[in-house]
């Protein structure tokens, strides 16, 4: 990501669902996360956010949740229409790809990550579909904007190593406490690594709060 190109979601949307309430139905509540945050770090983060131009401010939690829901609606619309599915598959075959759009299981974040990752594989196909196919009018209201693609890519980049780490832990039949701790510290290091992308930093801060909430004792 370039320093002047900040990932973001669609602005000026109203009545969006807050990600905290979404997370409650998917995983567990964020109500106690503040107990584990560092005051000095929060003040520094607030100062950093104040310096970001309004047009480049990172998405709020509700906008991230709404973007993910928009992706679900888009994929669902394509999959439910035989005409749209055939059109997309034609372009997939022309590019010699053997993949399909997939939907996630809302209660599993790794499933949502895989849905977004698969959607990214279709980015060029979807953009060409909207640019050249008259059938795209059926889903024009759900078209993924360039800044939304950047946000999806950023989310994928952040979640990818987390999924690798979790799968490594689940495959380790004889995991020792030292191995687990090293993997957790690696995750923490990745999440605390600053980026020139304000949206990426925002998402990482959200995740690290959860991470510290669940694994505070092991980290210390």
pLDDT tens digits, one per residue of 186-220: 888 989 999 888 899 999 998 888 877 776 655 45
pLDDT digits (tens, 9 = 90+) for 25-83: 444 434 444 443 444 454 455 444 444 334 444 467 889 999 999 999 999 999 999 99
Contact 8, 147 (CB under 8 A): yes
**Model confidence at 93, in pLDDT bands (50, 70, 90)?**
confident
Nearest Cα neighbor of 104 from 28, 22, 30, 209 is 22
**Structural domain contains residue 43:** no
**Structural domain contains residue 69:** yes
Q: What is the pLDDT of residue 26?
A: 42
Helix or strand or coil: residue 147? helix
**Model confidence at 164, in pLDDT bands (50, 70, 90)?**
confident
**Structural domain contains residue 11:** no
**Structural domain contains residue 180:** yes
pLDDT digits (tens, 9 = 90+) for 35-49: 434 444 544 554 444
Kindly report the average pLDDT of the chain as a whole number: 76
Q: b vs e for 70-79, b when ≥16 Cβ sit within 10 Å of the residue's Cβ?
A: bbbebbeebe
**Structural domain contains residue 47:** no
**Structural domain contains residue 46:** no
Find the domain containing 85 and state its range. Answer: 19-26+53-219
Listed in sequence order, the residues at least 6 apart from 56 whose beta carbon sits closer than 8 Å to its beta carbon are: 6, 8, 198
Contact 200, 7 (CB under 8 A): yes
**Structural domain contains residue 31:** no
Span 71-100, mean pLDDT?
A: 91
Count of structural domains within the chain: 1
Q: What is the pLDDT of residue 59?
A: 64
Q: Which of 82-96, 160-174, 188-202 has the lowest mean pLDDT?
A: 160-174
The model's pTM: 0.69
Q: What is the pLDDT of residue 4?
A: 42
Q: What does DSSP assign to residue 144?
A: P
**Structural domain contains residue 176:** yes
């Amino acid at each position: 990501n370039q320093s002047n190109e900040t990932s973001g979601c669609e602005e000026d949307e109203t009545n969006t669902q807050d990600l905290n309430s979404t997370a409650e139905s998917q995983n567990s509540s964020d109500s106690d996360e503040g107990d584990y945050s560092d005051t000095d770090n929060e003040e520094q983060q607030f100062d950093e956010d104040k310096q970001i131009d309004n047009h480049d401010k990172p998405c709020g939690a509700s906008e991230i949740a709404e973007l993910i829901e928009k992706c679900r609606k888009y994929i669902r619309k394509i999959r439910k229409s035989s005409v749209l599915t055939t059109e997309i598959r034609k372009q997939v075959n022309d590019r010699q790809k053997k993949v399909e759009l997939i939907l996630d299981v809302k209660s599993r974040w790794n499933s949502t990550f895989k849905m977004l990752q698969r959607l990214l594989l279709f980015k060029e196909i979807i953009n060409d579909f909207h640019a050249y196919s008259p059938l795209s009018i059926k889903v024009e209201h759900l078209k993924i904007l360039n800044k939304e693609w950047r946000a999806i890519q950023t989310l994928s980049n952040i979640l990818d190593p987390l999924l690798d780490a979790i799968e490594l832990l689940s495959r380790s039949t004889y995991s020792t406490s030292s191995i687990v701790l090293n993997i957790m510290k690696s995750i923490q290091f990745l999440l605390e690594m600053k980026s020139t992308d304000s949206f990426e930093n925002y998402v990482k801060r959200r995740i690290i709060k959860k991470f510290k909430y669940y694994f505070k004792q092991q980290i210390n």
